[in-house]
């Protein structure tokens, strides 16, 4: 996996913790088998005086397999509830819904 270097942020507000609410967003490819999925390790530096001094402010690790599994379970639950909702509707209601959405709702129920 490629190491991301020097992701910079722009302070939102002046003060003692200007980046405290900054969100850093990037995409990485992860293995489909969670046994091979790594933890995301992060080192946070403070680049003072144009990078001459870079003290480490902190380090942390995020257990990606745990979050991926949790997200997968949440989606499975939402899909189950959506199927239950669709099954509660009559065939005519599902046909009207299919026409308005542009795809066959009954096909989703079958899968």
- The per-residue pLDDT for range 12-54, each reduced to its tens digit, is 666 666 666 667 777 778 888 888 888 888 887 776 666 677 7
- Residues 68 and 104 grouped into a single domain: yes
CA atoms of 57 and 38, how far apart (whole Å) = 23
Question: What are residue 28's phi and psi, to 5 degrees?
Answer: -135, 150
- Residues 75 and 57 grouped into a single domain: no
- Residues 51 and 33 grouped into a single domain: yes
Domain total for the chain?
2
pTM for this predicted structure: 0.49
Q: Would the pLDDT of 5 be above 70?
A: no
The per-residue pLDDT for 74 is 93
Structural domain range at position 24: 1-62
- Cα distances from 12 to residues 6, 21, 25, 73, 80, in angstroms, run 18, 8, 16, 35, 41
55 versus 22: the higher-pLDDT residue is 55
- Residues 88 and 43 grouped into a single domain: no
- Residues 5 and 53 grouped into a single domain: yes
* pLDDT one-digit tens code per residue, 81-106: 888 888 888 788 888 888 888 888 78
Q: Would the pLDDT of 1 be above 60?
A: no
- Residues 78 and 34 grouped into a single domain: no
């Amino acid at each position: 996996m490629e190491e991301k270097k020097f992701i910079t942020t722009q302070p939102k507000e002046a003060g003692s913790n200007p980046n405290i609410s900054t969100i850093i967003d990037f995409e990485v490819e992860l293995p489909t088998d969670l046994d091979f999925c790594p933890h995301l390790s992060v080192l946070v530096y403070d680049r003072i005086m144009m990078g001459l001094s870079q003290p480490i402010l902190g380090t942390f690790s995020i257990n990606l397999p745990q979050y991926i599994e949790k997200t997968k379970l949440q989606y499975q639950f939402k899909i189950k509830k959506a199927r239950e909702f669709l099954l509660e509707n009559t065939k005519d209601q599902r046909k009207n819904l299919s026409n308005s959405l542009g795809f066959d709702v009954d096909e989703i129920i079958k899968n």
